[in-house]
Amino acid sequence: MVRTLKKKSKSPKISLTEKAYRELKRRILENELPPGTQLMEGELAELLDISRTPAREAMTRLEVEGLVEVRARHGMKVRPISVSDMKEIYALLTGLESTAAWQAANRDHSEDEIKALRDSVQEMDDALQAQNLKAWALSDEKFHKLLVSMSGNNRLIELVGRFIDQSHRVRMLTLTLRPVPAQSNEDHGRVVAAIEAKDADTARRVHRIHREKAGKLLVDLLEKHHLTQL
């Protein structure tokens, strides 16, 4: 009897361009490369220890996502975000995410999907108990991305992800300026309950109000503290 050996499944290889894109994006979102940072193509390649071609391709992808500006013979510049930018971003997030909540409540979901959404809310509660605002912000971002993914709308998922990334730096920089976000956690819990109950109108309404309040709070903080370019 011949025994057939099973081939071990290999993880798909990540291209140099993808690695460069992920690392450059991480450095921008974590403010390791703050707004206004300018790097020539050769400097970026040296920084990431890669050749110029994947460096150039990574810059191009991030330009499409609105995180950098690329100019011929001038390399790239990390784009700042203004108060006006944040108003536009949150107007879009409010409309898109409330639609996602409505679509999510109209679809069937596995117990694991609902649990993941509930777990992210619990992580936010735990982070507030521990007074860890950074952990809260990351769990909050996780909740929003999970919620949108449950809409099943790929174009919507792509757009929302892009705008969440664009606003990430500002949210992290203003964390200590905002009130304790306990109400935000309560809003998320109500959205989860509405999705479980397949109450699409309530899911959309609650999430829309939540995003409108979050956007107004952030813009008010930026204007109050004269943070016009971040």
pLDDT band at 4 (very low <50, low <70, confident <90, very high): very low
Higher-pLDDT residue of 12, 42:
42
Give dist(CA 69, CA 66) in Å, integer: 8
The three-class DSSP label of residue 199 is: coil
In the predicted structure, residue 170 carries a pLDDT above the cut 80: yes
Tokens matching residue 98: 């409330």
185-223 residue pLDDT tens: 999 999 999 999 999 999 999 999 999 999 999 999 999
Give dist(CA 161, CA 225) in Å, integer: 27
The predicted model gives 64-93 an average pLDDT of 92
Residue by residue, DSSP assigns 19-81 as HHHHHHHHHHHTTSS-TT-EE-HHHHHHHHTS-HHHHHHHHHHHHHTTSEEEETTTEEEEPP-
Higher-pLDDT residue of 41, 4:
41
In the predicted structure, residue 9 carries a pLDDT above the cut 70: no
pLDDT value of residue 12: 60
Tokens matching residue 125: 């509660």
pLDDT band at 224 (very low <50, low <70, confident <90, very high): very high
Quote the pTM value. Answer: 0.85
pLDDT value of residue 10: 53
